[in-house]
Amino acid sequence: MNSPWIQTCTGMKFHFTEVDQYPFDLEDFAQPLSLLCRFVGHISKFYSVGEHCIHVASLLESRGYNPQTVWFGLIHDAGEAFIGDISRPLKHLVEDTIRPIEEKILKGICVNYKVNYTNVDREAVHTADLDLCSTEALKLLPHDPIEDWHLIGTPIVSIDLPCWTPEETKERYYSLFGTLLVRAL
């Protein structure tokens, strides 16, 4: 069988049907996440998925979650480094195909970096992600989609969105990844 694959920024082949065999290198997700624009680019200025992940991790830390959950907040969108940032409505349509691949990627990263996947509070990560999504939408989209996206009641987070350059995001992602990984182990 010919397994579909992409070449990563480190030159490796990432096979979508053999995710559990991939040796996840930080560069293979930090680099693309720093270059992928949130909301499929339909925003007022460049704001990366990588920066979003950094803010999710910071939000989880400020809410007092365990180190594994905070670290997982940083990598929660790592699957997008391999499948791309898919708009929320489309993602719901193809969820049965995409979700298992994303889950294998996240589990693979946890296994590769020896972080106990079972200690992660996935609901807390999901809540922080939605809270930040509402905030980002209000600050970056041309029109308020909160009601249309069924996010009414989702708290707006008091956070600055500096919209770092891809280079700055990647540097911050690397630094935070190392710091949080030490705490999570």
Does the structural domain 25-184 have CATH classification 1.10.3210.10? yes
Give the pairing type, strands 13-15 and 5-7. antiparallel
Do 48 and 169 form a contact (C-beta atoms < 8 A)? yes
DSSP string, 6-51: EE-TTS-EEETT-GGG----HHHHHHHHHHSBGGGG-SSS--BHHH
pLDDT of residue 2: 80
Cβ burial 91-114 (10 Å sphere, 16+ → b, else e): eeeeeeebeeebebbbebbbeeee
One pLDDT digit (tens) per residue for the chain, 185 residues: 588 999 999 999 999 999 988 999 999 999 999 999 999 999 999 999 999 999 999 999 999 999 999 999 999 999 999 999 998 889 889 999 999 999 999 999 999 999 998 999 999 999 999 999 888 988 898 776 656 655 556 667 888 999 999 999 999 999 999 999 999 99
* Closest among 98, 92, 126, 87 to 19, alpha carbons compared: 98
* Kind plus residue range of the DSSP H or E element containing 5: strand 5-7
- For residue 23 the two structure tokens come to 């040796």
Q: Give the C-alpha distances (Å, rounded to integers) separating 46 from 50, 53, 122, 154, 169.
A: 11, 15, 28, 24, 11
How many residues are given for the chain? 185
Q: How far is CA 123 from the centre of its chain?
A: 15
- For residue 45 the two structure tokens come to 């200025």
pLDDT of residue 150: 54
pLDDT of residue 158: 86
Burial degree of 136 (CB within 10 A; 0-12, 13-18, 19+) = buried
Distance CA 83, CA 36 (A): 11
